């Protein structure tokens, strides 16, 4: 039995424990101990404006494979979609979700349905609002463009796995003057988004989306756990470096 | 039910003395809105998760955002809090959550039949006015919610039993304490308008049509058919109260006994009968009950108006359970939303002028002399219709028990009978002005009295009319100065609040009288007996002829809005702000977009032109110094023994095939030269097609001998496409025989290959950091399971976009060599001394890249400078 | 329904996870089996996704929505390619013609789209300093320029003294921040995955 | 004579021109025609690949013949294949709104397994390996004496500082200062300081990635233009 496997299991168990502890600590009330990320504040404003002027919100979940590491970013996108579906359920135009992967499209339909149901607006749910735009990254990117142009979208939330092709989406949104908040787990995608999107989420900020949109205490708890892990990782790196220097490792 | 309270959250029964549910900590007895500041009651985490509350999240969010839209973005996510909590419950209490989810799954229309589980507001509603009626509550706490001035008449009837029994001290106490309630009433017309507009958009199944607010009768038909059938005389003004119960099916039968049992300290089963008489007789009930009970009703007109959505800020509604029942989705979260508190407070402050208008009218009704309140028997049905069971109890009351109460509330009825319509009483006035034109002189007033005349009144016999003799009252009474009312004796203070429904039915006349500013008819006029019409034989009803004789043309009111100077200034200011906001912004946006188009076009043309120019005029040589990691890769391939099995992973998209082919072609050529047996695999659906392209791009027209085995695919095997991303990679890495769809154990290229550890080298051709990571991570994860896999060198051939972050894997020894991009390919070709596709494209590439660098530098600096200037400009303007 | 689905997600997820960390029989075998099933299910889901794609565009055509003509082109291209591919699969599994068609349609379009990015990204970097006024933006802009120059090989061509060290430094610099970014994204992914494994995130079966 | 190569080459030529028209005219009908055709072809090809290389060899063939890639399956393995078949059938219920809830089970299974694969890969493949890589860069004190060792130490120190500063740039925890209750929560001075350093490393990394993407895009443009130039004489 390899020690890395054991260490990995311990890490996972500790993370789960911390998440539950933090979730219990601020259960029932939103956790406010988070630094301000302006992009999320502007997203709130954009959602409000979209509801006010009856335009549509577009949530793009990227082309992550559900069986891959990118799935994490897509899952965060789904959490955001759920919240946005709830918050915009009084809008004249329900939000539309596009995906570059079939499993994500199915999940986006389920998420939209549950979002509308929890907002008692199930009548607004339309299965074609959770759609596949294309099955390869670039066919997905160009498949999203008509949605931006033809469906009077005023705000785009790109939350998922996007490569550099996301520049096509952000560029089109920019040309049509619609708001774009975009985050990707792909670093080249983030770099491109920093230059092209109005409100880019860089690094881990995408994974904080659920907590900043108040998607539930477990989201805030996982963020606090992430901070604890950060300290642990930093300590481990420094300690390991010292041990390596003195020749123990 | 009397000694147990059902929790509005988890719907389990709790002892009545508990304030908080012993199962889910939900509050069982919400604070009385009248007494509490609008701070919401403690919210159990589960609460917002209920469908009803989720339903109103948006309707609550909207105002919140509209707040947040105007600046204060830095307030973080507070605006989302109430909805956040809605989802927060989700993880907290899975067991109850699942129950509630089931409820919510059953759809909104199914929430009504089960108030406890699926509609906490309904659950809240009961404790709400239960607590309002408890004896512990101090009078002033509940007073604010007694906006009798703005109550519809039927609500006066609701108040009647309590006020009738209120002890003396209530009077003085009530005067000043009324104000908050009156503030609410002062604000009423405003929100009544909102109710109408809201009602239009409201698609809540339980929401009545807007007219309901103004024609309770109609509303009654919509809302409360069954109980009404059981109640003796159908009274137009009644429906709202029973309708309150009608949403939560058993409400009327449950609420009243509950309330009475609290008043009487008796179990509800017996409450309806005995409960009335004792307080009617002895006035046991403290004044606190009166306003609270009225408060319950006070919420209802809002409710009828479909006020659910915007009813939050109305103080009267804090305790008013009507909205909680009628618009269950809407009220409870508002009570639980911290964000709402300021709105609440502001709603107290705003309508204060309205309060001044309302107060006199309301207090005026307290001013009636006891003498006039003798003949109130006809008014008796008032209470009856107001609460069916209560009415029934009155009917069944044996005369022997009644003498004591009778004088008390007969006074009250009498005194109230001609009570003028308070200023804040829109309903009658509206009915009158809209549907009833001023009758010409001489025409009896009956016709439009008939319109609202209760059936029972037409059936009144002389006996009752005899009792009605002293019930006349001049309509001028309300003009009593309000300053005096605290000094009024208790009876006077309480009595006027009673208003029999048949008197309400006549109030349009009072409106006329009031609006025509007629002097009060003399006493003898009041004493005359009506001879004709349905009121024949009644004494003291409003006289038709004298009144008609005094009719003048109603004064015409100017429609011009009366505004103060400051209001005009503010309006002008707002006008200017809006103008500034809209016009220039639109222009700037247009200009910006058009200028962007031009700039975009210029940049595109320049880049394309530079690429073309470079292809014709080569001016930049290929850098000769290869990177260390590329040298490692070259040396590793060079060190390969003949016909060694090599795995090549084609994980790039067609979009980057141009670059990847430039980088990989020389490596593939080198491998062919070494006679490596190639196994091709991909996790991209298009990978195999791109592998074909790459192989085709390597072959030179005059193919050297070493390329022959690859031309006829003898030395190449296509293992196929690995689905499932990293999962597919992992299953392939663990067991290629099962993981690869086209694994052929009998293929000559796989004779000595049984696992990935048998390959001499693994070449990862990837354009993406993520697929590269996926392979490297899965190889690392499978390392322990596949002996010897860690020893197999992994070489990366990547796009320039993935290279920077794949380098760390060189440090971690997960990869052993790296070649990236067109430049890497060109350098590798130089090492091989066989110029190929990379060398051919280098000149165009260099030209385009240098042009882009110049463009970015110049354009960036210009834009940066412009933005600096614009920032300074905006600072100066500010 | 949902509790059962949640139980399924947690149970199978934990078994696969344990299979990663504890190579004790039968965990690895179970993990491989479950992962294999997931791959098959994902493949079937792909078919559903394609039907969804076609349904959306068929709706566009039937409802005469804007751009319905393009939807017609999409559906026609899909059907023609599918028929050609199926016919080839029956005749020759290697399907050379289908691959050739893909190389003649998909490759040029995707490569051209990537080429379009060359213009779009140049435009975006020109506007960057106007869009963002922060130290981060300035650093990003300068770094982009430096790495573009490095990518052009100018340092190597000009044979400046210490060009090798400069190139090595430029190769190392992104790694310093990149490792932190990779670790941070990994932490985020880890906790997001764990939220699913403990049933806190349940995107399935709304 | 128009051979298949020439016809397909012409199609490529035409599609390339249509797509590149975006540079001049933005989103235009020509661009739309090319992209919609591309989406259709790509989707069809994905279906073909998935059917031919996943469903057929991994599900259909083993169930029918009892062999996978020529390897005979045991009876148990064959029976176990009914599970994904059943899951697939349940998944197909997602196509009908009435029964779509039955599709939640296979979706839950997919999400659960996907999350586990993510967690396993991330922990073993990135967190541990990258941390160890950062640590292993440090030379032992005995090596630090040499010039090479010193360079390695400096490199390792930069790597450590860069990694830590970048990690803490994203630190989310913050507190509202009691002195400015109205202000949004802020991080401690120490974290803010680290974050300030971190942004330098992140900006450099993003700059290099952006430059890499740009170089890749430019290479693609070069490849397309060279194709156009090479093919036009044939026309």
Q: B817-820 and B4-6: which strand pairing?
A: unpaired
Report the gap between the CA of D145 and the closest CA in chain C (Å): 21
CA nearest neighbour of D123 among B816, C8, A16, C5: A16
Report the gap between the CA of D140 and the closest CA in chain C (Å): 20
* Structure tokens belonging to residue B553: 């043309």
- Output the pLDDT for position B308: 32
Q: What is the 3-state secondary structure (H, E, C) of D186-206?
A: ECCHHHHHHHHHHHHHHHHHH
Cβ–Cβ gap C36/B784 under 8 Å: no
- Output the pLDDT for position B3: 56
Q: Does C141 touch chain B (CB under 8 A)?
A: yes
Task: Order the strands of the B794-798 sheet from edge to edge.
Answer: B716-721, B677-682, B645-651, B761-766, B794-798, B817-820
- Output the pLDDT for position B369: 38
CA nearest neighbour of B335 among B35, B55, B39, B28: B39
- Output the pLDDT for position B310: 31
* Structure tokens belonging to residue C75: 């559906």
Give the Å distances, CA to CA, from C109 to C73, C102, C198: 15, 10, 43
On chain A, the residues whose CB falls within 8 A of the CB of B89 are: 28
| Cα separation, B133 vs B165, whole angstroms | 14
Q: Which residue has the higher pLDDT, B521 or D232?
A: D232
Q: What is the 3-state secondary structure (H, E, C) of B448-505?
A: HHHHHCCHHHHCCCHHHHHHCHHHCCCCCHHHCCHHHHHHCCHHHHHHHHCCCHHHHH
Q: What predicted TM-score, i.e. pTM, was given to this entire model?
A: 0.67
Residues 107-126 of A with CB under 8 A from C: 107, 109-115, 117
Q: What is the mean pLDDT of each run of 10 residues along chain C (206 residues)?
A: 88 92 86 89 93 92 87 95 90 77 90 94 91 90 93 79 80 89 93 92 78
In the predicted structure, residue D46 carries a pLDDT above the cut 80: yes
- Output the pLDDT for position B288: 35
Side-chain half-sphere exposure of C193, counting CA atoms within 13 A: 30
Cβ–Cβ gap D53/B737 under 8 Å: no
User: What CATH number does domain A37-213 carry, 1.10.10.10, 3.50.50.60, 3.40.50.11400, 3.40.50.300?
Assistant: 3.40.50.11400
Q: Which residue has the higher pLDDT, A160 or B434?
A: A160
CB B351 within 8 A of CB B181: no
On chain D, the residues whose CB falls within 8 A of the CB of B849 are: 215, 218
Cβ–Cβ gap A241/D172 under 8 Å: no
Of D118, D127, D176, which is closest to A71 when you measure between CB atoms? D118
A85-128: per-residue pLDDT in tens?
A: 888 877 878 889 999 999 999 999 999 888 888 778 777 788 88
- Output the pLDDT for position B39: 36
CA nearest neighbour of C2 among D108, A80, B681: D108
**H/E run at residue B818:** strand B817-820
- Output the pLDDT for position B851: 92
Report the gap between the CA of A114 and the closest CA in chain D (Å): 12
Of B88, B686, B777, which is closest to A136 when you measure between CB atoms? B686
Of A139, A188, A233, which is closest to D39 when you measure between CB atoms? A139
Q: Write down how long chain A is.
A: 249
Q: Which stretches of B580-715 are assigned E, i.e. beta strand?
A: 645-651, 677-682
CB B213 within 8 A of CB B192: yes
Percentages (nearest 5) of helix, strand, coil residues in chain D: 80, 5, 20
Cβ–Cβ gap C129/B867 under 8 Å: yes
| Cα separation, D231 vs D104, whole angstroms | 51
Residues 67-96 of D with CB under 8 A from B: 68-71
Q: Mapping DSSP to helix (H, G, I), strand (E, B) and coil, where does residue A57 land?
A: strand
List the alpha helices (DSSP H) in C25-134.
27-62, 68-91, 96-131
Q: DSSP of A139-192, one letter per residue?
A: HHHHHHHHHHHHTTEEEEEEEEE--TTHHHHHHHHHHTT-EEEEEESSHHHHHH
- Domain range summary for chain A, segments of one domain joined by +: 37-213
Q: What residue in A sits closest to D143 (Cα-Cα)?
A: A245
Report the gap between the CA of C30 and the closest CA in chain B (Å): 12
C46-92: per-residue pLDDT in tens?
A: 999 999 999 999 998 998 888 889 999 999 999 999 999 999 888 87
- Output the pLDDT for position C196: 92
Give the Å distances, CA to CA, from B814 to B247, B635, B775, C175, D162: 67, 17, 10, 15, 21
Q: Mapping DSSP to helix (H, G, I), strand (E, B) and coil, where does residue B445 land?
A: coil
| Cα separation, B303 vs B295, whole angstroms | 13
On chain A, the residues whose CB falls within 8 A of the CB of D184 are: 35-36
| Cα separation, D49 vs D54, whole angstroms | 7
Averaged pLDDT for residues A167-181: 91
Q: Does C200 touch chain D (CB under 8 A)?
A: no
- Output the pLDDT for position D178: 65
- pLDDT grade for D4, boundaries at 50, 70 and 90: confident
- Which residues of chain B fall short of a pLDDT of 50? 1-2, 31-493, 495, 509-525, 585-587, 589
In the predicted structure, residue A130 carries a pLDDT above the cut 70: yes
Cβ–Cβ gap A19/C200 under 8 Å: yes
| Cα separation, D144 vs B680, whole angstroms | 44
Lowest mean pLDDT segment, chosen from A17-26, A42-51, B584-593: B584-593
Give the Å distances, CA to CA, from A172 to A142, A181, B163, C110: 10, 13, 69, 17
Cβ–Cβ gap A120/B45 under 8 Å: no
- Output the pLDDT for position A128: 82
Cβ–Cβ gap C39/A113 under 8 Å: no
Residues 175-194 of C with CB under 8 A from D: 175-184, 186-187, 189-190, 192-194
Write the DSSP symbol of residue D170.
T
Percentages (nearest 5) of helix, strand, coil residues in chain C: 85, 0, 15
On chain C, the residues whose CB falls within 8 A of the CB of B89 are: none
On chain C, the residues whose CB falls within 8 A of the CB of D87 are: 37, 40-41, 44
On chain C, the residues whose CB falls within 8 A of the CB of A168 are: 113, 116-117, 120
* Structure tokens belonging to residue C52: 């969804």
On chain C, the residues whose CB falls within 8 A of the CB of D210 are: 121, 125, 140, 144, 147
Q: What residue in B sits closest to A123 (Cα-Cα)?
A: B107
């Amino acid at each position: 039995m390899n020690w890395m496997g054991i260490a990995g299991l311990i890490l996972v168990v500790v993370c789960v424990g911390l998440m539950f502890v933090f979730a219990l600590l601020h259960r029932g009330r939103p956790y406010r101990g988070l630094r301000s990320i302006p992009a999320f504040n502007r997203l709130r404003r954009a959602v409000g404006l979209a509801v006010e002027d009856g335009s549509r919100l577009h949530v793009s979940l990227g082309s992550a494979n559900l069986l891959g590491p990118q799935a994490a970013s897509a899952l965060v996108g789904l959490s955001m979609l759920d919240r946005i579906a709830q918050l915009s359920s009084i809008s004249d135009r329900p939000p539309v979700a596009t995906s570059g992967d079939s499993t994500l499209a199915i999940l986006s339909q389920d998420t939209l349905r549950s979002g509308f149901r929890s907002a008692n607006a199930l009548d607004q749910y339309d299965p074609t609002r959770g759609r596949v735009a294309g099955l390869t990254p670039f066919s997905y990117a160009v498949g999203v463009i008509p949605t931006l142009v033809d469906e009077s979208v005023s705000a785009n939330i790109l939350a998922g796995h996007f490569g550099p092709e996301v520049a096509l989406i952000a560029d089109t949104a920019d040309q049509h003057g619609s708001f774009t908040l975009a985050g990707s787990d792909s670093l080249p995608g983030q770099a491109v988004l920093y230059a092209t999107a109005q409100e880019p989420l860089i690094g881990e900020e995408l994974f904080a989306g659920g907590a900043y949109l108040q998607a539930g205490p477990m989201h805030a708890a996982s963020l606090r756990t992430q901070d604890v892990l950060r300290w642990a990782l930093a300590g481990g790196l420094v300690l390991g470096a010292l041990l390596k220097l003195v020749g123990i490792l | 039910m009397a000694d147990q309270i059902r929790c509005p959250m988890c719907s389990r029964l709790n002892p009545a003395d508990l304030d908080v549910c012993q199962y889910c900590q939900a509050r069982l007895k919400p604070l009385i809105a009248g007494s509490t500041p609008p701070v919401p009651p403690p919210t159990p985490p589960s609460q917002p998760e209920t469908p009803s509350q989720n339903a109103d999240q948006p309707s609550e969010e909207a105002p919140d955002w509209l707040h947040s839209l105007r600046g204060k973005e830095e307030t973080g996510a507070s605006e989302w809090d109430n909805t956040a909590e809605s989802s927060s419950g989700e993880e907290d209490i899975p067991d109850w959550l699942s129950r509630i989810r089931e409820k919510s799954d059953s759809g909104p229309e199914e929430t009504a039949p089960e108030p406890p589980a699926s509609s906490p507001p309904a659950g809240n509603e009961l404790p709400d006015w239960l607590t309002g009626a408890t004896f512990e509550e101090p009078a002033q706490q509940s007073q604010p919610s007694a906006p009798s001035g703005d109550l519809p008449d039927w609500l006066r009837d609701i108040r009647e039993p309590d006020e009738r029994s209120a002890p003396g001290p209530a009077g003085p106490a009530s005067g000043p304490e009324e104000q908050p309630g009156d503030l609410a009433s002062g604000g009423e017309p405003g929100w009544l308008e909102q109710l109408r507009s809201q009602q239009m958009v409201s698609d809540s199944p339980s929401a009545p049509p807007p007219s309901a607010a103004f024609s309770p009768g109609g509303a009654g038909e919509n809302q409360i058919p069954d109980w009404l059938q059981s109640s003796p005389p159908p009274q137009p003004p009644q429906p709202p109260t029973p309708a309150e119960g009608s949403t939560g099916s058993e409400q009327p039968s449950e609420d009243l006994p509950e309330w009475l049992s609290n008043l009487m300290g008796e179990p509800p089963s017996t409450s309806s009968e005995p409960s009335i008489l004792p307080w009617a007789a002895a006035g046991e009930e403290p004044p606190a009950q009166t306003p609270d009970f009225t408060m319950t009703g006070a919420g209802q007109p809002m409710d009828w108006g479909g006020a659910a959505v915007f009813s939050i800020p109305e103080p009267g509604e804090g305790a008013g359970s009507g909205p909680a029942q009628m618009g269950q989705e809407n009220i409870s979260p508002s009570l639980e939303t911290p964000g709402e508190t300021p709105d609440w407070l502001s709603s107290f402050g705003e309508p204060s002028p309205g309060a001044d208008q309302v107060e006199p009218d309301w207090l005026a009704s307290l001013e009636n002399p006891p003498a006039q309140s003798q003949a109130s028997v006809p008014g008796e049905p008032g209470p009856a219709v107001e609460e069916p069971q209560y009415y029934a109890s009155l009917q069944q009351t044996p005369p022997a028990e009644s003498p004591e109460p009778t004088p008390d509330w007969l006074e009250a009825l009498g005194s109230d009978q001609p009570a003028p319509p308070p200023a804040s009483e829109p309903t009658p006035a509206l009915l009158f002005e809209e549907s009833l034109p001023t009758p010409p002189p001489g025409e009896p007033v009956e016709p439009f009295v008939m319109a609202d005349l209760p059936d029972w009144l037409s059936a009144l016999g002389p006996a009752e009319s005899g009792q009605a003799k002293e019930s006349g009252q001049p309509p001028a009474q309300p003009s009593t100065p309000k300053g005096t009312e605290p000094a009024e004796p208790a009876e006077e203070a309480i009595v006027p609040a009673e208003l029999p429904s048949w008197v309400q039915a006549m109030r349009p006349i009072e409106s006329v009288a009031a609006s025509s500013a007629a002097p009060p008819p003399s006493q003898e006029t009041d004493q005359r007996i009506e001879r004709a019409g349905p009121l024949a034989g009644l004494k003291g009803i409003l006289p038709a002829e004298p009144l008609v004789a005094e009719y003048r043309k109603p004064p015409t009111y100017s429609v011009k809005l009366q505004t103060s100077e400051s209001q005009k200034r503010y309006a002008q200011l707002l006008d200017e702000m809006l103008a500034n906001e809209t016009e220039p912004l639109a222009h700037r946006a247009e200009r910006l977009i058009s200028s962007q188009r031009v700039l975009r076009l210029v940049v595109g043309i320049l880049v394309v032109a530079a690429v073309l120019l470079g292809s014709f005029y080569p001016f930049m040589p290929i850098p000769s110094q290869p990177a260390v990691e590329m040298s490692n890769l070259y040396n590793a391939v060079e060190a390969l023994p003949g016909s060694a099995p090599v795995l090549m992973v084609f994980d790039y998209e067609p979009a980057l095939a141009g670059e990847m082919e430039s980088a990989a072609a020389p490596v593939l050529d080198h491998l062919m030269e070494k006679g490596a047996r190639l196994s091709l695999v991909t996790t991209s659906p298009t990978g195999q097609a791109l592998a074909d392209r790459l192989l085709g791009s390597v072959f030179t027209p005059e193919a050297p001998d070493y390329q022959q085995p690859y031309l006829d695919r003898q030395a190449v095997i296509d293992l196929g496409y690995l689905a499932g991303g990293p999962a597919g990679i992992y299953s392939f890495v663990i067991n290629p025989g099962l993981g690869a769809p086209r694994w052929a154990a009998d293929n000559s290229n796989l004779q000595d290959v049984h696992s990935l550890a048998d390959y001499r080298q693994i070449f990862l051709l990837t354009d993406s950091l993520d697929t590269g990571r996926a392979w490297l991570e899965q190889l690392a994860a499978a390392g322990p399971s596949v002996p010897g896999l860690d020893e197999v060198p992994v070489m990366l051939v990547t796009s320039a976009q993935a290279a920077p972050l794949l380098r760390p894997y060189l440090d971690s020894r997960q990869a052993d060599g790296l070649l990236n991009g067109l430049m890497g390919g060109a350098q590798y070709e130089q090492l091989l001394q066989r110029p190929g596709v990379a060398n051919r494209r280098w000149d165009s590439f260099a030209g385009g890249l240098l042009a882009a660098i110049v463009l970015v530098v110049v354009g960036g600096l210009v834009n940066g400078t412009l933005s600096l200037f614009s920032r300074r400009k905006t600072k100066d303007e500010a | 329904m949902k509790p059962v689905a949640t139980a399924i997600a947690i149970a199978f997820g934990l078994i696969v996870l344990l299979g990663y960390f504890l190579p004790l029989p039968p965990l690895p075998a179970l993990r491989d089996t479950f992962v294999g099933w997931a791959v098959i299910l994902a493949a079937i889901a792909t078919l559903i996704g394609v039907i969804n794609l076609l349904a959306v565009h068929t709706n566009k055509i039937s409802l005469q929505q804007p751009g319905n003509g393009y939807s017609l082109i999409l559906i026609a291209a899909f059907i023609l390619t599918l028929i050609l591919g199926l016919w080839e699969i029956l005749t020759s599994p290697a399907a050379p013609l289908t691959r050739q068609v893909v190389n003649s349609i998909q490759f040029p379009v995707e490569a051209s789209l990537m080429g379009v990015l060359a213009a779009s990204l140049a435009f975006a970097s020109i506007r960057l300093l106007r869009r963002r006024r922060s130290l981060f933006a300035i650093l990003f802009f300068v770094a982009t320029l430096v790495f573009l120059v490095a990518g052009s090989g100018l340092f190597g061509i000009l044979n400046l003294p210490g060009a090798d060290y400069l190139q090595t430094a430029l190769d190392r610099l992104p790694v310093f921040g990149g490792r932190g970014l990779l670790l941070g994204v990994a932490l985020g992914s880890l906790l997001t995955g764990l939220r699913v494994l403990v049933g806190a995130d349940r995107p399935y079966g709304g | 004579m128009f051979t298949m190569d020439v016809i397909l080459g012409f199609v490529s030529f035409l599609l390339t021109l249509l797509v590149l028209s975006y540079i001049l005219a933005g989103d235009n009908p020509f661009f739309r025609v090319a992209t919609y055709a591309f989406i259709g072809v790509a989707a069809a090809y994905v279906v073909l690949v998935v059917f031919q290389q996943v469903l057929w060899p991994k599900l259909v063939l083993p169930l029918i013949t009892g062999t996978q890639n020529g390897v005979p399956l045991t009876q148990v393995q064959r029976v176990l294949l009914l599970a994904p078949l059943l899951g697939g059938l349940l998944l197909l219920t997602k196509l009908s709104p009435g029964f779509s809830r039955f599709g939640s089970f296979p979706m839950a299974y997919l999400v659960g397994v996907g999350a586990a694969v993510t967690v396993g890969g991330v922990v073993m493949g990135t967190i541990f390996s990258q941390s160890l890589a950062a640590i292993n860069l440090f030379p032992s004190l005995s090596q630090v004496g040499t010039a090479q060792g010193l360079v390695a130490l400096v490199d390792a120190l930069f790597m450590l500082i860069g990694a830590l500063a970048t990690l803490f740039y994203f630190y989310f925890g913050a507190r509202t200062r009691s002195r400015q209750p109205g202000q949004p929560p802020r991080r401690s001075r120490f974290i803010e300081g680290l974050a300030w350093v971190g942004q330098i490393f992140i900006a450099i990394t993003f700059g290099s990635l952006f430059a890499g993407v740009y170089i890749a895009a430019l290479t693609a443009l070069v490849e397309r233009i060279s194709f156009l130039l090479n093919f036009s004489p044939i026309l």
